[in-house]
Amino acid sequence: MANTYTQLHIQFVFAVKYRKALIAKEWKERLHQYITGIIQSNQHKMLCINSMPDHIHIFIGMRPNQSISSLIQNVKTETSKWIKDQNLCLNFAWQEGYGAFSYSRSHVSNVIRYIENQEEHHKKKTFLEEYQEMLKVFEIDYDLKYIFTEPME
């Protein structure tokens, strides 16, 4: 795209289906590497990625050559297939929906630090509390019945 200049920093947040704790410590770094490859092959820049057993945060510098929904569909589809093909978790699936939050350049280092410290952060706050807080901070109207499904027992 000639003469197109952008600075788009987007954080994506989405959960494992039913918020089940299926992302294992033993293979989460491989998952992060695989997602980084998908992001880069779509010409975006990975800024930070981290996951907890039931959800993931991805922070990228996004190029305007692809829609957000197309990118996330690609990431979810390809990673679900990869996880099953690698025999890491045979019943793995991502939950429908996602959060996408934009940040200015001045916030990039804070967002990276926040994502890197997920383990510590979740000692004090559940994923649902974290996600609802993000929606409130960004002044996004939501209905609780459409928020990520509660974990199955």
- Any idea which of 4-8, 40-44, 70-74, 103-107 has the lowest mean pLDDT? 4-8
User: 2, 10, 5: which is closest to 101 by C-alpha?
Assistant: 10
The reported pLDDT for the residue numbered 151 is 56
Give tens-digit pLDDT for 23-57: 999 999 999 999 999 999 999 999 999 999 999 99
- Give me the mean pLDDT over the 3-28 stretch: 94
Give tens-digit pLDDT for 106-145: 999 999 999 999 988 888 888 888 888 888 888 888 887 7
Contact assessment for residue 31 and residue 86, using Cβ atoms and an 8 Å cutoff: no
Question: Domains of the chain, with CATH numbers?
Answer: 9-146 (3.30.70.1290)
For CA atoms 60, 65, 69, 73, give the dihedral sign: negative
For CA atoms 138, 66, 91, 116, give the dihedral sign: negative
Give tens-digit pLDDT for 83-109: 999 999 989 999 999 999 999 999 999
The reported pLDDT for the residue numbered 149 is 60
